[in-house]
Structure 1
Amino acid sequence: MSTGTFYYWKPRFLEGGYTPLEKTNSHAPKNYSKTPSSIAKQVIKLYQQQPTWGSLRIAHELAIRSGWVPLISPNTVLLLLFEPDFGTSVFNQKKWSVIFQS
């Protein structure tokens, strides 16, 4: 713990003991970004049309089709391909080595 952090919390501890220290609020953002369904559907459609393409190729192909604007990262493409909500059973159709190739 840095000295700055110690002296920041010291008055609270001296005032009320451990109880005020336990009631800290999280400053983490509560709104997580979600991939738009239109882009997710494009990913699934592209993968069904080209099952040998990997996540990097699908992400690049979507960027090319949108005028070189990156719409989605390769990691998000992987997450979408294995997401059960789409009902594509992509996981059962392909081997890991094919999906992870670029």
Structure 2
Amino acid sequence: MRRKDEVGWADPAVLILTSLAGGPKHGYAMTADIAEQAGVTLGPGTLYGALSRLEERGFVQAMAGEQRRRPYRITAAGAAVLRERLTAMRSLAWTGLSRLDTATA
């Protein structure tokens, strides 16, 4: 997983679930979507390892695919976990930004 900046912040599971929240996608489409939205490039090992773990936990489901492209979709459980995680991230971001504003004032 590579990001344009030096600070590691992106959890592959959150990135994948966020991508799939927009609709079912196969691996290449997820990688492209994540790169476009978050500026993070997931390598195949990272992507498919995380997808496997997410599928084992019932957060994503593999769908019937064509040839080598196998799409995945987010499940209701995955959407609930993603909503919880993003809400916590929003709260943390708000706190951090508020503290930065106070520190620079």
TM-score normalised by length of structure 2: 0.41
Q: Which structure has the bigger radius of gyration?
A: 1
Q: Which has the higher contact order (CA 8 A, sep 6+)?
A: 2
Question: Which structure's residues are more often strand, by fraction?
Answer: 2
